[in-house]
Amino acid sequence: MAQEGASPPVVMDETPVLPGGAAATEALPTLPGAADAVLPAPEAKVDTDLVTLVRKAHPVVQAVMCLLALAVAAVLTVFLFKAVEFTLAFARLRRAHADLARAEGLASLPGACPLAEGTKAAEAEVAALPGHLTSDLRASARERLDLALDRIEARAVMQLRSGTGLLASIGAVGPFVGLFGTVFGIMNSFLAIAATKTTNLAVVAPGIAEALLATGIGLVAAIPAVLLYNAIMRRVAAFRHGLADGRAELMARFSRELDRRMLATAGQGG
């Protein structure tokens, strides 16, 4: 009866505070192993400059980059050499045109220009003609001079086109060599992922970056090579056009000289 008449327990609205306040909270025991927990270390700094990227690349990718760098140097060398060569060739051709315009009749021009060499060939052909000139001899003389001028022009054009084979090869093969470096760099990135069992960008990015760098160097080698090749072909065509003008003038003077010889032969026969 005494238990039934007792008052019910009172529920407290506030959380009880341990004696000692914050000090008691700090004195609470920690969980086992909590002191041995290691905080995650900050990520290592990744070098982003190109020199470090090339130095740390795979040896195969480095070999591809070196090969493409040599191709870039070859394109630059051909560009400088052809710039000087075409400047001199067109200057000699203009000088030969001016000398031929000032000369009277079939004159031999000095110099190493193909047009000057053509005048020497025409003079040698006239000197080799017999005293009695006939129509058949005239036709054969023109044919021999045409062959001589064709050889002179072919030799000059071949000299001007030297180096274009290298440019064509670099323009055609350069992107594929860079693509080979790209494929190998990406394959190296996948191998790094498999070895570390993580897809962290710090692991994947260097291989992809070196792969893309190889592709970029391949394009740097190929694009100027193609542009330079087309420019050389246009300059060669312009040189051949100027040479054809001089050749037409030379053949006209050679024909007039043959006419004069034939008239002289006809006068002697009459």
Q: What is the mean pLDDT of residues 104-127?
A: 86
The answer on pLDDT for 207 being more than 80 is no
- Domain residue extents for the chain: 69-89+147-270
Write the single-letter amino acid at 164. Answer: T
Distance of CA 8 to the CA centre of its chain: 96
Place 234 in a pLDDT band, splitting at 50, 70 and 90: very high
| pLDDT for the residue numbered 226 | 95
Distance of CA 34 to the CA centre of its chain: 62
51-102 confidence digits (pLDDT tens) = 676 777 778 778 888 899 999 999 999 999 999 999 999 999 999 999 888 8
Specify the higher pLDDT residue, 186 or 221: 221
User: What distance in Å separates the CA atoms of residue 234 and residue 86, rounded to the nearest whole number?
Assistant: 11
Q: What is the mean pLDDT of residues 36-64?
A: 63
| Residue 149 contacts residue 214 (beta carbons within 8 Å) | no
* pTM score, whole prediction: 0.72
Q: Is 163 left (phi over 0), alpha (psi -120 to 50) or beta?
A: left
Phi and psi, residue 94, nearest 5°: -65, -40
Query: Which pair of structure tokens corresponds to residue 164?
Result: 């274009």
Place 24 in a pLDDT band, splitting at 50, 70 and 90: very low
Query: Which pair of structure tokens corresponds to residue 167?
Result: 């440019």
Query: Which pair of structure tokens corresponds to residue 239?
Result: 């040189």
163-201 confidence digits (pLDDT tens) = 999 999 999 999 898 888 888 788 877 777 777 777 676
Helices (DSSP H) in the chain: which residue ranges? 22-26, 50-55, 59-102, 114-127, 135-160, 164-196, 201-269
If you compute the radius of gyration of the chain from its CA atoms, what whole number of angstroms results? 43
